[in-house]
Amino acid sequence: MAHSKPKIPDIPQHFLECGFEDCEKNCEFYCNSCHHRMCKQCRDQHLKIPENKNHKMVLYQQRKRQLPVMKCKLHPTKDIDILCKDCNVTLCSKCSTMQEHQRHCFIDLESIYTDKFKLCQKELSKIHNYFVPTSQDLQREVQEDATEVKQIMDSLRTSMKAEAESLKNMVDTVLSENMEELNQIEKSLLEKLKSQEKTFDDYIAYLNDLVKEFQSYLSSTELTNFTTQLSEDLKIKPIPETKKPVTPEFSSAQYNKSDIAKLLGKVIKSDRKAELRRKKPMKIPLTATSMKLTSEQTKQDKHVKSDKKQTMSLSASVTEVREFNVPGVDYVFHVSLDQSDILWISDWDGNLFQTDLQGNVIQKIETSGRDQGYHTVTQDRDLIFTDKDKKVINRITQDNNITEFIKTGDWRPLSIHSSHINGDLLVGMFIKVRGFIWMKDSEAKVTRYNKTGKELQNIQRDNKGQELYRYPHYITENINGDICTSDLFNGVVVVNKSGQHRFSYTGQESEFRPYGICTDVLGHILVCDYYSDTVQLLDQDGQFLSLLLTQPQGVEDPRSVCVDNENNLYVGQGHTNILTVCKYLK
């Protein structure tokens, strides 16, 4: 059986194909001896060949990495493939027989290379999934602190100016009162002086009258009158006694710059010690087949329950737990989990129902949503839902008060998801540039808001400037912070927390029309394919794992999926009001 040259795609998208020619089946196994990918059938045939009976066959995820070809300098026809542990040098098989390496310990270089390769991948994963996003979060926190510092300083300036203005007003008031008192004193003194002036006017008039009388005596010819009356009239009234006015004095205030500073207040540097910025703890990476949570990790991550210290993996088959009908629902297009026993379910007609696990309707809200994942429940148990027609995002609090939470401008919000990691809101939205809304000339993006509705991030293009989205009508977040979007025309588009494109998945057939999407505690991505009537299971890196649910299993027209805290899978279907609950993890 001829082998084709193994070729592993750089970006995970479709499932890996078997490495044998003309075999297009899913790759499950890997031969560490001859380095070929194989499906189950080709593996069995490969091991039937006598010379291959000792070949080491492993699962593809456990494969050894093939050594890069490097020729030995001493033996050019030989490849370097071993390590002399004693000399710590790489050798070919012929070098190991040389005298200087007699009785030395040799190690398979391929095993070392595989371990180092995995180590590099692990460290790269840490950088992309923790160090870069965490650093960007801290950088964003620094920027927010700078904005807050400016706001605080502006507030202090306003307070200082207000204090100075208050003091100025007090000075003006005291000055006005002093001026008024001075005016009253001046008025009183002038009135007294006016009275004294009149006294002297009267006295001078008296003297003038007396002068005239004396002159009449001098000109009189009657001696008798002159002699008898003159002696009596010689008594002149004395000049009136008056007092000089006493003017007030001004006692100037004794103050200096320090006194003014005390009145106005001053800026005091805080003696508080600067706190270190809090960094979220690094999570232990989870594999696609198992998850082990240590007690230390449980303490670090408040979102992980203490009862999940067990090992979990995919079950061999999917088991239906129960199903229930929701009266009045036409198509179960999206399901949001409120708590363990409360659901929000939306249908084609824009009806949004709150129900219990028996399908009993608690309340009903009419919205403009249809076949989109347009509602989500926050960590505070508030319901958030989009209105693409009014271009707003609404909030319903526990007391059923509906408010416009965020206005999205010219963009129409389609899908929304409340992060279980930090409470951020992830919103898929589009803008109609011209023509029909699904034409290529329309634009789409994913926007991140914080809990208060502040816009934090916009994701629209990859690092080559290509548009990532066309119609992102369902959206969710994975355990590593990846943003997973179900785009009706671009497939499943996954970017990391910083917005860098990780991979896109476009299905197993020529047509792929993704609808509802969710992730689970192992980092799996579950997506509904409207075209093939399946629920497909991917790993965290976009590798296709299986068709989790198909028509033979009773699934027709799957439109919505979500996983609860007990790892139950809820599947909503079109053309029916039935919600099916399954178990697929053990």
Residue 279: pLDDT above 90? no
Tell me, what's the pLDDT at 204?
A: 94
Across 284-300, average pLDDT: 36
CB 464 within 8 A of CB 442: no
**Token pair 């999570």 in the structure block, residue:** 283
Tell me, what's the pLDDT at 340?
A: 64
Tell me, what's the pLDDT at 281?
A: 64
Tell me, what's the pLDDT at 437?
A: 45
Residue 578 pLDDT grade (very low, low, confident, very high; cuts 50, 70, 90): confident
Which amino acid belongs to residue 375?
A: H
Residue 313: pLDDT above 70? yes
d(CA 379, CA 417): 11
Tell me, what's the pLDDT at 113?
A: 84
d(CA 541, CA 286): 12
Q: Which residue has the higher pLDDT, 161 or 115?
A: 161
CB 288 within 8 A of CB 539: yes
Q: Which residue has the higher pLDDT, 241 or 223?
A: 241
Tell me, what's the pLDDT at 380?
A: 86
Two structure tokens written together for 279: 């960094």
Give the pLDDT confidence of 71-121 residue by residue, as tens digits: 999 999 998 889 999 899 999 988 988 988 988 999 888 888 888 888 888
Tell me, what's the pLDDT at 200?
A: 93
d(CA 280, CA 422): 10
Two structure tokens written together for 411: 């963009």
Give the pLDDT confidence of 126-147 residue by residue, as tens digits: 888 888 988 998 899 899 889 9
Across 503-526, average pLDDT: 93
Tell me, what's the pLDDT at 231?
A: 58
Tell me, what's the pLDDT at 297?
A: 38
Two structure tokens written together for 150: 């400016």
CB 527 within 8 A of CB 544: no
Residue 280 pLDDT grade (very low, low, confident, very high; cuts 50, 70, 90): low
d(CA 389, CA 133): 33
Tell me, what's the pLDDT at 520?
A: 94
d(CA 423, CA 425): 7
CB 323 within 8 A of CB 578: yes
Tell me, what's the pLDDT at 312?
A: 76
Residue 473 pLDDT grade (very low, low, confident, very high; cuts 50, 70, 90): very high
d(CA 425, CA 67): 45
CB 408 within 8 A of CB 509: no
Residue 565 pLDDT grade (very low, low, confident, very high; cuts 50, 70, 90): confident
DSSP SS3 for 260? helix
- Walk me through the domains of the chain, giving residue ranges and CATH numbers: 113-264 (no CATH), 321-585 (2.120.10.30)
Average pLDDT score over the chain:
84
CB 384 within 8 A of CB 365: no
The enclosing H or E element of 358 equals none
Return the bridge partners of 356, or none: 342
Which amino acid belongs to residue 186?
A: E
Across 339-360, average pLDDT: 86
Tell me, what's the pLDDT at 323?
A: 87
Residue 65: pLDDT above 60? yes
CB 462 within 8 A of CB 501: yes
Give the pLDDT confidence of 405-427 residue by residue, as tens digits: 999 999 999 999 999 889 999 99
Residue 197 pLDDT grade (very low, low, confident, very high; cuts 50, 70, 90): very high
Handedness of CA 531, 535, 540, 543 (dihedral sign): negative
Residue 450: pLDDT above 50? yes
Residue 552 pLDDT grade (very low, low, confident, very high; cuts 50, 70, 90): confident
Q: Which residue has the higher pLDDT, 440 or 185?
A: 185
How are beta strands 342-346 and 334-339 bridged, if at all?
antiparallel
Which amino acid belongs to residue 130?
A: Y
Tell me, what's the pLDDT at 387?
A: 94
∠ CA 144-456-13 to the nearest 5 degrees? 140
Residue 293: pLDDT above 60? no
Query: In this prediction, what percent of the chain has a pLDDT beyond 90?
Result: 39
Across 298-318, average pLDDT: 56
CB 517 within 8 A of CB 505: no
